[in-house]
Amino acid sequence: MSFLTIVRNDIVFYYIYADMIKNYLLYLFMLTGFAVITSCSSPQQPVTVTPIAKTPAIMQPFRFHKLIEVSPGQDYDVLSWGRGSSKVGSFLILHSDSSGTKYTTTTGDLDGSIVDVYNSDMDMDGNPEILIQTKGKDTTNYTTVYAFEFSFGKAQKLDFPKLTQSQRQGYRGGDNFYIKDGKFIREFPIYNGSGPTAKPSSAKRQFEYGLHNNSFTVKQLNKDSTTVKPNSTANKPVKKTGPEKKSTKKAKKHTEEKHHKKKHHKGHHSDEE
């Protein structure tokens, strides 16, 4: 085989190999373009966005609102309102009797801001009680409870008992109220000391409020940890020391000497007889 034949065969092979590479690249380009066209032409799935439910904003002059659903058709909307101050104002209890198409309003002055509203039937007479808890502040935090019992569409105000002097011992606010087994429970931390330097202890005082003949009953659930315990050394005998102890010994010695002289005198008289 001559040199020219070898060169000619190499050139032919080069062109065949180059043509194969060209066809491969063309095929790859066509395949990529087809994939792009297919992806663009396929319909996209719509993205579902779930809206976040927002609490309706309370418009002025109203500052608080809570709906109490006692039973189907018996709703109580409790609101506070007043412009220019957050510490004083008034409250509204809007009773909607949709089954009887009757609507009544109960209102009153408010001391402090409403913290929460509770519903119960403490005397089990079928008439709901609505209790409004407010928080105020003077020299200490304090709580006020406005209570009403609703019967036949009318509201009767109930006098919520104030803490007695002994119940207020160590009280600095921080009340927590809740309903348990149909009773109104109140608890608060007990502080040691008085004034700004008072510090909370680990103890709490807890009360249970009931209702009987439209009057509140109060029962303390836990033992009052602030009760002063009697002095355990009060009944112990007092040990005599000092001058009192010496005078006792002296009196005892004098008694013994007197008894000895009397005995000696009696014996001497018998010998003479």
* Global pTM value: 0.62
In angstroms, the CA 257 to CA 249 distance is 13
Say if strands 215-220 and 199-212 run parallel, antiparallel, or are unpaired.
Answer: antiparallel
Residue 123: which pLDDT band, with cuts at 50, 70 and 90? very high
At residue 24, the pLDDT reads 56
Within-domain flag for 112: yes
Residue 28 lies in a domain: no
- CA within 13 Å, CB half, 207: 20
Question: Does residue 246 form part of some domain?
Answer: no
Average pLDDT over residues 218-230: 67
CATH number of the domain encompassing residue 144: 2.40.128.460
Average pLDDT rounded to a whole number, residues 89-114: 94
Question: Domain range holding 207?
Answer: 62-220
**pLDDT tens digits, one per residue of 104-119:** 999 999 989 999 999 9
Query: How many independent structural domains does the chain possess?
Result: 1
Please provide the DSSP assignment of 66-123 as one string: EEEEEETTEEEEEEEE-SS-SSEEEEEEEEEETTTTEEEEEEEEEESEEEEEEEE-TT
| The dihedral sign for the CA sequence 60, 62, 66, 71 | negative
| Residue 220 φ/ψ region, left for φ over 0, alpha for ψ in the -120 to 50 degree band, beta for the rest | beta
Q: Is the pLDDT of residue 28 over 80?
A: no
Q: Establish if 37 belongs to a structural domain.
A: no
pLDDT the model gives residue 137: 78
218: exposed, middle or buried (Cβ count in 10 Å: 0-12, 13-18, 19+): middle
Res 87 pLDDT > 60: yes
- Contact of 78 with 65, CB cutoff 8 Å: yes
Would you say residue 40 lies in a domain? no
84: pLDDT confidence band, cut at 50, 70 and 90? confident
Question: In this predicted structure, what is the pLDDT of residue 236?
Answer: 45
* % of the chain exceeding 70 in pLDDT: 60
**pLDDT 10s digits, 240-249:** 444 544 455 5
What does the pLDDT read at residue 268? Answer: 45
First to last CA, the chain: 186
Residue 239 CB neighbours (<10 A): 6
Task: Render the burial of 125-137: b for 16+ CB within 10 Å, e for the rest.
Answer: eebbbbbbbbbbe
Confidence label for 233 from pLDDT (cuts 50, 70 and 90): very low
Q: Give pLDDT, residue 19.
A: 59
**Distance, CA of 219 to CA of 192 (rounded, Å):** 23
Residue 124 backbone phi and psi in degrees, to 5: 55, 40
User: pLDDT value at position 60?
Assistant: 87
Residue environment code for 139-175, b if the CB has 16+ CB neighbours within 10 A, otherwise e: ebebbbbbbbbbeeeebeebebeebeeebeebbbebb
pLDDT above 70: residue 192 = yes
Spatial neighbors of 205 by CB under 8 A, at least 6 apart, are 167, 170, 171, 187, 188, 190, 220, 222, 224, 226
pLDDT bracket for residue 44 (50, 70, 90): low
Confidence class for position 254, pLDDT limits 50, 70, 90 = low
What is the average pLDDT across 135-155?
88
- What is the pLDDT of the chain when averaged over all its residues? 76
Q: What pLDDT sits at residue 229?
A: 40
Residue 225 lies in a domain: no
What is residue 256's predicted lDDT score, i.e. its pLDDT?
56
Strands 183-192 and 199-212: antiparallel
**82, part of any domain:** yes
Q: Are 172 and 192 in contact (CB under 8 A)?
A: no
Mean pLDDT of 205-222: 95
Q: Is residue 86 part of a domain?
A: yes
Is the per-residue pLDDT at 17 higher than 90?
no
Reported confidence tier of residue 40, pLDDT bands at 50, 70, 90: low
Q: How do strand 154-158 and strand 176-180 relate by DSSP bridges? A: unpaired
**Comparison of pLDDT for 73 and 137, the residue scoring more:** 73
